[in-house]
Amino acid sequence: MLIRIAWRNVWRNKTRSLVIIIAVVVGLWGGVFSDAFMQGMTEQQIYSTIHTETGHIQLNQPGFLQNFDLQKRITNADSLVAILKTNPAVAGAAAIVRVTAMATTASSSAGIMVNGIQPSDQQVVSNLSQLLVQGDYFKSNRANEAVIGQQLADKLHVKLKSRIVLTLQTVSGDLVYGAFKVAGIYRTHDSDFDQQMFFVRNQDLQALIDFPPAAASVITVLLHQSDDTEPMAASLQEQFPDLQVQSWVQLAPMLQAMSGTMLQFSLIFVGVILIALAFGIINTMLMAVLDRTREIGMLLSIGMRPAKVFGMIMLETIFLSLTGAIIGVLVSVASISWFGQHGIDLSIVAEGFNALGYSSKVYPSLGADFYLILTCMVIGIAVVAGLFPARRAIRLKPAEAVRGE
């Protein structure tokens, strides 16, 4: 009976209830959708970092990453890559010779990282070849071709077919110069990467710096399943105890930290919105109690216990809030799953996002744990919001309330 009365009371003043319900729907949808959007951006960023830059796992000599010492190399890299490729969980493996260099043109110069790659292997572990804006990805058989980022091309004022002179050290420490011709220009969503990463053919670089042909600085591994990353890294470490095995989590710790704190951040964000909405709910319910002073006085007079009156107002508040929350969550889930499939194209404002490493198309997504905690938060907020009007109701003195004061 109490439930029936409370539910019908919610719909007594339809306009007033609808206003607050719509506020809850819009507020929640805004909050939840923004959270899903940010979550989608993070996932996108992780995906493109793995698939363009790092792969799932990298192997190198311990200490190599500190100062890119050419002596710290994997001597049997080619045979290692061959072994890795036979593993059914591995989608691809590629050896890279990596060395720092100074790139110079007639008008400008820049510090870069030269990556000597085997194009056929590299194309499997990295989608960079699909991100070319000009030229092609080592299609011709000409020697000393380079694929560089748009940012670096702009900085060095070079176009396709321009010549760039690299200054670098050989394995024995002597300075050498090498001239490379720009064959392709790529553009990723990470402007740091685009400014630094300079790709050439393995054999061209090895010849220039006297690097042993079968060796490499880094081996990148791409897996079929992202979930296999940690167990695979552990088993590779066991298999090759002399090498340093790192997953993308260690290679891009910021990303991992971001995705790890995303849930808390999202909940705080909707939490703040919910608290703001709570004030609206309290206000609506206080008005409802005020409007019904005589009626509540009558209920108390005829023998309804104050505890029941309190419960009735609490239930009304909860019903009011939950109606809004349920609609809000349904709208959120519907819009998130639609945009999760179709994506939100941000190309108009994409420049800014690119600088941060984000893709221009975002696929919002949220986990079930988010909705679970959100539901608990909504109920919690509704209960707290209900306390004020419910307390107001039972503080009414029946004799005064029935007089209508």
133 or 287, CB closer to another protein?
Answer: 287
Cα dihedral: 159, 165, 171, 175 (round 10): -160
CB of 6 to another protein, least distance (A): 9
CB of 278 to another protein, least distance (A): 25
Hey, is 247 helix, strand or coil?
A: strand
Place of tokens 């670098």: 168
CB of 8 to another protein, least distance (A): 4
175 or 307, CB closer to another protein?
Answer: 307
CB of 296 to another protein, least distance (A): 10
224 or 397, CB closer to another protein?
Answer: 397
DSSP string, 32-58: HHHHHHHHHHHHHHHHHIIIIII-SEE
- DSSP β-ladder status, 90-104 and 218-223: antiparallel
303 or 352, CB closer to another protein?
Answer: 303
CB of 249 to another protein, least distance (A): 57
CB atoms within 10 A of CB 283: 15
Hey, is 175 helix, strand or coil?
A: strand
10 or 236, CB closer to another protein?
Answer: 10
CB of 1 to another protein, least distance (A): 5
4 or 241, CB closer to another protein?
Answer: 4
Hey, is 99 helix, strand or coil?
A: strand
Q: Please, which contacts does 267-270 make with residues 24 or more away whose CB atoms are closer than 8 Å?
A: 267/370, 267/373, 267/374, 267/377, 269/31, 269/34, 269/35, 270/28, 270/31, 270/32, 270/35, 270/374, 270/377
Helix (H) or strand (E) holding 378: helix 368-394
Footprint of another protein (CB under 8 A): 1, 4-5, 8-9, 12, 294-295, 297-306, 308, 397-399, 402-404
88 or 303, CB closer to another protein?
Answer: 303
CB of 314 to another protein, least distance (A): 17
8 or 161, CB closer to another protein?
Answer: 8
User: What gap in Å lies between CA 392 and CA 290, rounded to an integer?
Assistant: 9
CB of 21 to another protein, least distance (A): 18
Q: CB–CB of 306/394 below 8 Å?
A: yes
Residue 347 main-chain phi, psi, to 5 deg: -60, -25
User: What gap in Å lies between CA 324 and CA 23, rounded to an integer?
Assistant: 8
